[in-house]
Structure 1
Amino acid sequence: MTSHEYATFLAGSANRARVVTALHEDGTGTVGSISDRLSMSRSTVHRSLRTFTEYGWTRRVDGTYRLTEAGELVLDAYETLIRTIEWVEEYEEFLTHLDDADGTFPIHGTTCANMVSATKDDPYRATTYIIDALTETSADRIRCITPIVSPLFADAARRLLDRGARIELIVSEPSLESAVQRSAEQQSPDSVAGFDLYSVPEDLPFGVTILDGERVLVSAFDDRGNLRACLDGKNPDFVEWATSTYETRRGESRRANVIPDL
């Protein structure tokens, strides 16, 4: 049999996965004990255990079964797959507009994260959510990566600077040049206290905002630069990914020569 056929066998029946999970949770089990525990027919349990033993996933000793190390690994991989599919279904809108995240996006690190997406009736819902988060935060240090330079977010940044927060912002050079052309005048990099602006040569596929290294907002944009969805979370893996992503971009950036007045 091929690896695909092994996987298809396990995934082809919810009962088979339940049998493996029961063995994992109880440590050992007999056909009768598992049948009673799962309210499943003995014949169904027996067929599953017999096949698992043939595959090397379980070991039988005097009528008692236990998972082998291989079985534990297979169960772990299966549960990871199920969690991934559940996550994809829950955050479909966010993933649809999240561009390349270097293949490192911590899907399971978004546990308990709040997802906000734009709707037909409220196309600015995600934008409003991020602005409110920035306006209401008590964070003293805000680090951001953004594909766009928007006056809406500039207003929120002014409020943060006015209360003494420090902001580091990384944008793409094309976005910065466009913002400079739109602004009525420009300021020198040292003229705005607490604000450091950096640029990277290439376009940025998504936005990241880190509030005091404790809370992260990841924003996804459509092809026209419209903010479509935002994921807000505090999971340590999520924060670690965002921090690593920011630091990588920061290492590639250079300080802007001018700050556009938006």
Structure 2
Amino acid sequence: MNASEAAAFLAGSPERHRLLAHLREQSGSPRDMADATDVSRRSVQRNLSEFADRGWVKKRDGVYELTTSGELVARTHRKYIETLDTISTYDPFYRHLPDADHAPNPAWLADATLVTASPDQPQAPVSHYVKRLRARETETVRMLAPVLSRLYHDAHAELVLSGVETELVMPPERIETARSSNPLEFRLVSRAIDIYEHDGPVDFGLTLGDNWAFAGAYDTEGQLRALLECDDPKFLDWAKTLYQQYRNRSSPIR
């Protein structure tokens, strides 16, 4: 059996996943497994026979246990299912990303917080961002932003006034819009923080503190649709690398 056939076989019945998961915990007779997994004894027998044909289990004195190959298959299949489940949970964030290069590994999101916009609460991600930004401690803030919104202004102004060094990377058209709509305010903001013009579009949001990060997914209208807050070290490394890629393609505004 090749890999495609094995994947199709495992996907053919959720009972197979339950039986492999149980066998990872303990060996047992078909009756034991039927009682423990709420799978009919007939189905247990049939699946065990198919597992044995594939070399995934062996039988000794009426008791089935995983072979080494079976253990590896069971472990890999469980990770696959868990990854799909995580992608489903964070789909409101992933679906609004510009491409897979902007997608963090689902394995890093076990303890992440996801806040999404809804018809009843369209500003929920923004409200969470502002609340959590005020609660976080940091000496520096680095931002990648598709838009410059007054909804974030007060929270970031408080950080700047408290001495937090801040830099912002934005697309050129958004910078020009902000500059032309209120030249005096823009001049004051640009003196307080370092603003960089990105050489190309920015369709994704990042805010990096010293040891935390927010990632924002925007729709085509520039509205924040989902906000991810995560402290996982690998997520932070990914966010810092992605931000630096944008920063390297940017120039200080004049």
TM-score computed with the length of structure 2 as normaliser = 0.85
Q: For 2:100 and 2:156, how far apart are their aligned partners in 1?
A: 25
The 1:30/1:80 distance shift into structure 2, 3 A limit, reads: same
Cα deviation, 1:74-127, whole Å, max 9, x if unaligned, reads 323322332233223333322332222416521121113222122223322222
Q: Are residue 20 (structure 1) and residue 17 (structure 2) matched?
A: no
Paired position in structure 1 for 2:37 = 38
Q: Is the 8 A contact 2:17 2:78 kept in 1?
A: no
Confirm or deny that 1:229 pairs with 2:231: no
Residue 217 of structure 2 aligns to a residue whose secondary structure is strand
Q: CA deviation at 1:163?
A: 0.9
Is the contact made by 1:100 and 1:205 (CA closer than 8 Å) also made in structure 2?
no
Match of 1:260 in 2: none
| Aligned residue in 1 for 2:238 | 241
The percentage of aligned residue pairs carrying the same residue is: 31
- Residue 36 of structure 1 and its aligned partner are, at CA, apart by 4.6
Contact 1:189 1:256 (8 Å CA) reproduced: no
Match for residue 9 of structure 1?
Answer: 9
- Tell me, what secondary structure is at the counterpart of 2:119? coil
Could you say what secondary structure the match of 1:187 adopts? helix
Change beyond 3 A, Cα 1:69–1:253: farther
Would you say the 8 A contact 1:173–1:200 is kept in 2?
A: yes
- The one-letter code of the counterpart of 1:48 is N
Partner of 2:252: 255
Query: Where do 1:43-122 residues align within 5 Å?
Result: 43-61=42-60, 63-102=62-101, 104-122=103-121
Alignment equivalent of 1:200, drawn from 198, 201, 217? 198
Q: Kindly report the root-mean-square deviation, in angstroms, between the aligned alpha carbons of the 2 structures.
A: 2.6
Rate the CA distance shift 1:73–1:203 in 2: closer, same or farther, 3 A: farther
Aligned residue among 185, 194, 209 for 1:211:
209
2-structure distance, mates of 1:108, 1:161: 34
Cα displacement (A) at 1:250: 2.3
Aligned to 1:168, the other structure's residue is in SS state strand
The structural deviation recorded for 1:197 is: 2.0
Q: 1:105 to 1:190 in 2, by over 3 A?
A: closer
Moved more, 36-45 or 99-108: 36-45
Comparing 37-46 and 247-256, the one that deviates more: 37-46
TM-superposed deviation, 1:63: 4.7
CA distance in 1, matches of 2:45, 2:214: 49
**Are 2:94 and 2:103, in contact at CA under 8 Å, matched by a contact in 1?**
no
TM-score (norm 1): 0.83
Instruction: Give structure 1 stretches of 5+ with no counterpart.
Output: 258-262
Once the two structures are TM-superposed, the CA of residue 220 in structure 1 deviates from its matched residue by 1.0
Change (3 A) 1:174 1:58: farther
SS of alignment partner, residue 225 of structure 2: strand
| Structure-2 change in CA distance of 1:103 and 1:53 (3 Å) | farther
- Amino acid paired to 1:207: G
- The offset of 1:9, in angstroms, is 2.0
Describe how 1:141-152 pairs up with structure 2 within 5 A. 141-152=140-151
Q: Distance in 1 between matches of 2:146 and 2:75?
A: 37
User: Equivalents in 2 of 1:119, 1:188: separation in Å?
Assistant: 34
Note closer, same or farther for the CA distance 1:122–1:107 as it changes in structure 2 (3 Å cut): same
How many residue pairs were aligned? Answer: 253
* Counterpart residue identity of residue 44, structure 1: S
Distance across 1 between alignment mates of 2:103 and 2:190: 35
Whichever residue aligns with residue 93 of structure 1, its letter is P
The one-letter code matched in structure 1 to 2:89 is E
Taking a change above 3 Å as real, the CA distance of residues 188 and 119 of structure 1, as seen in their structure-2 partners, is closer
Equivalents in 2 of 1:113, 1:77: separation in Å? Answer: 23
Rounded Cα–Cα distance in structure 2 between residues aligned with 1:190 and 1:37 = 64
Structure 2 residue runs without a partner (length 5+): none
